[in-house]
Structure 1
Amino acid sequence: MTEVFFYHLTNRPLESALPQLLEKCFERGWRCTVQATTDERVAALDQLLWTYDDASFLPHGTDRQPDAARQPILLTTNPANPNGATVRFLVEQAVIDDPDTYARVIHLFDGADPDAVDQARESWRAAKAAGHDIAYWQQGPDGRWQRR
C-alpha cells in the first residue's frame, strides 16, 4: 500500500524544505520524481538543486533532457514516471491520478495559501478513502518536521 505523506510548510519555504527531504530519499537509494505545475517552477527547482548548499550535491535532471530515465531525481510537470521513481513529490498543488504506482507520495503545501490547504485536505480525504497509509507532518517553530 502506498504511503501518502503531507508536509505542511509553515516556517520555511519549499526551497528550504524540499532539498532536505530529497537528500534523505537519495541517501536511502530511492529514486524520486518532483512534479510541479509550471515549467518555470521546474527551472527554478533545477537551479535550486544545483545551488542550495555549497557542500552538497543532489544528482538530478529534468524530463526535457535526453537522459531523463537515468536521473535519480527527476523534475517534471508531467504525470509520467520515466525514471522509475518510487517516491513522488507533488509541489504547487500538482496532482497524480494513480498514487498506487509509488511506494510513497509526498504532498508539500504552503500553509499560508488557502487554496493549497484546501487541496491538501481534499487529497487527504481521497488518500484515506483509497486506504493508503497517511501521515501529516508540520514544521515546528525551529523548522524541524513534527509528525501530528
Structure 2
Amino acid sequence: MRVDFYHLTRMPLERVLPQIADKVVATGERLLIVSSNEAQQVALDALLWSYAPDSFLPHARIGTGDDAAQPILIAGDVNAANRARNVAIVDGEWRDDALDFDRAFHFFDDDAIRGARAAWKSLADRDGVERRYWKQNDAGRWENVA
C-alpha cells in the first residue's frame, strides 16, 4: 500500500485533484474522494464536471445515484461504495481506514501540516506501507522530497 502526502503550497487542491483523478480514471481504476466538509464536497462535485473546457470526470456524491457504477465517488467518510482501490483524502484529516486501499493520496495545506506530520510518523513503522512526500518547488513542479 502506498500513501502519497501532497503538501499544497503553491497550487490549490482545486487544480491538483482533477489532474490526479484524471490519471487514476485513465488507467481504468476508481477513486474515492473523502471530505467531511459538506461545502467542500459540493464544490468538488461542481469542479469535476467543469475543471477543463473540453472534458469532465464522471463522478457522483455518495447516495445520489448508483454509487457502485461511479468511477469517482465523493463521500464524507472512507466508504468505497464504488469499489475504489484508490482514495484521496482532501480535507487534510488523515484516516487510518485509507490503509485498506492500494493507494492513498493525502492532500493538506499549511493549516493541516501538524496532522500530516503526525500521520507521516505514525505510518513509519507500519509493515507494507510505502510513504512518499510531495512538495511543489519554486517552479510549481511536484518533487518527491521523502
Q: Given the two structures, how large is their TM-score scaled by the length of structure 2?
A: 0.92
Equivalent of 2:124 in 104, 125, 128: 128
- 1:94 Cα deviation after fit: 3.2
Q: Work out the CA distance in 1 between the residues paired with 2:88 and 2:14.
A: 13
Instruction: Give unmatched runs, 5+ long, in structure 1.
Output: none
Aligned length: 144
- 1:7 Cα deviation after fit: 0.5
Corresponding residue for 2:12? 13
Instruction: Give unmatched runs, 5+ long, in structure 2.
Output: none
Q: Work out the CA distance in 2 between the residues paired with 1:23 and 1:66.
A: 21
What secondary structure does 1:41 align onto?
helix
Q: Per-residue displacement from partner, 1:116-145 (whole Å, max 9, x unpaired)?
A: 100101111122121310101111223221
Q: Contact 1:37–1:93 at 8 Å: present in 2 too?
A: no
Q: Contact 1:33–1:89 at 8 Å: present in 2 too?
A: yes
- 1:66 Cα deviation after fit: 2.4
Q: Contact 2:32–2:72 at 8 Å: present in 1 too?
A: yes
- 1:110 Cα deviation after fit: 0.8
Label 1:99 to 1:78 Cα distance change in 2 as closer, same or farther (>3 A).
closer
Q: Work out the CA distance in 2 between the residues paired with 1:123 and 1:86.
A: 20
Q: Per-residue displacement from partner, 1:63-89 (whole Å, max 9, x unpaired)?
A: 021211110011110221101111110
Q: Given the two structures, how large is their TM-score scaled by the length of structure 1?
A: 0.91
RMSD: 1.2
- 1:56 Cα deviation after fit: 1.8
Corresponding residue for 2:141? 144
Q: Work out the CA distance in 1 between the residues paired with 2:98 and 2:12.
A: 25
Q: Work out the CA distance in 1 between the residues paired with 2:69 and 2:94.
A: 23
